[in-house]
A and B are shown apart, each in its own frame.
Chain A
């Protein structure tokens, strides 16, 4: 029975495809795919229906399914395009098969439904799996990318290192910050480490706790940690929360912190012009004598 239906569908694929295309085209307006050009929509639909038919003909064409779902993702089309398309195909082919027989009893009815379901269901499963799998893959790549820039350590000068923190700090990131901070401070032989929290939106007790721990750990390996970039509203919330930050130095801006760091390492920034003027001045006065 099943193979007879299959033959029937394949032999009359032209009229079924036509019906399917019409229905899909009517879905376009007032739906998710409004911004897509008509040509692209039609060519993708044609490809879609080809994928459906190849999969019905030989039950194992994973390659075509894979490629197609990848294409849909690259185009940025929603998953509902795939599910809608297959739903429509189910309806169209069921209607077609029912229309082919003169006498329709309940046996025939259920046979048609079972066969069509048998073709469509594995395809739905496969396409949806492919689609969501690709998304998960993209997501995990982004997570890795995000992790790579979550706790950078910049050696700006000999003995001075800066860690700028931007964005939300969660438990994983706090761990990473601690590790990178200690490892980097050892590697660059830093005397002073500046932690810049200008880009941290909220400093709650957990964030503060992690920063305090990191600073304490830095102190244990013999470096000084300066917390910089404390905005006025953050300062007020820290006071409201009752967090004690008196044990290590803080500065309002990275600039002030850096000046302090230079001071600790016994250096300072000098204007070259002023120095040259001074020398010229001395030379002049020497010549005058």
Chain B
């Protein structure tokens, strides 16, 4: 595994920085344009969730290089209020901020693997992986 590179999310423009790093890494790894767009969009959603709900957090990118397959792993970590009902936020159309409510379920569909852990008052950790086909 290659070392992680992380982007801190503190203000709205950090979302753009995270997205660019994600896209760049995806490009370097050899993802196609559609998957690059998927990864960039997923980063955008995760980073925006951090900015909107948790104020502060971090998105880390990691290259997974196993013998049978390669991929990009993204981990979004924040120390925000946490999510009380995870099954609810994974429903399409559920939102607390007046948005479309498609963010997290959308990320799950954009990526290949999706794992979410959240603790009230402690924060949320979302780990997603996209494999190169």
**Which residues of A does B touch, CB under 8 Å?**
168, 170-171, 201-206, 208-209, 212, 232-234, 236-237, 240-243
Contacts and interface: CB of A to CB of B under 8 A. Distances in A.
Nearest to B108: A240
Given A201-B40, A236-B37, A237-B38, A206 B99 contact: yes
B109 interface: yes
Instruction: Name the residue in B45, B101, B102 with the highest tally of chain A Cβ atoms < 10 Å from its Cβ.
Output: B102
Given A240-B110, A241-B102, A168 B16 contact: yes
A170 B13 contact: yes
Nearest to B38: A237
Interface of B: 12-13, 15-16, 19, 33-34, 36-38, 40-41, 44-45, 48, 92, 99-103, 105-106, 109-110
Contact of A205 (B37, B38, B40, B100): B100
Q: Is the interface of B mostly helix, strand, loop or mixed?
A: helix
A212 B99 CA distance: 11
Contacts of A212: 100
A236 B16 CA distance: 21
A202 B19 contact: yes
Contact of B110 (A168, A234, A241): A241
A233 B34 CA distance: 5
B95 to A, nearest CB: 9
Contacts of B109: 240-242
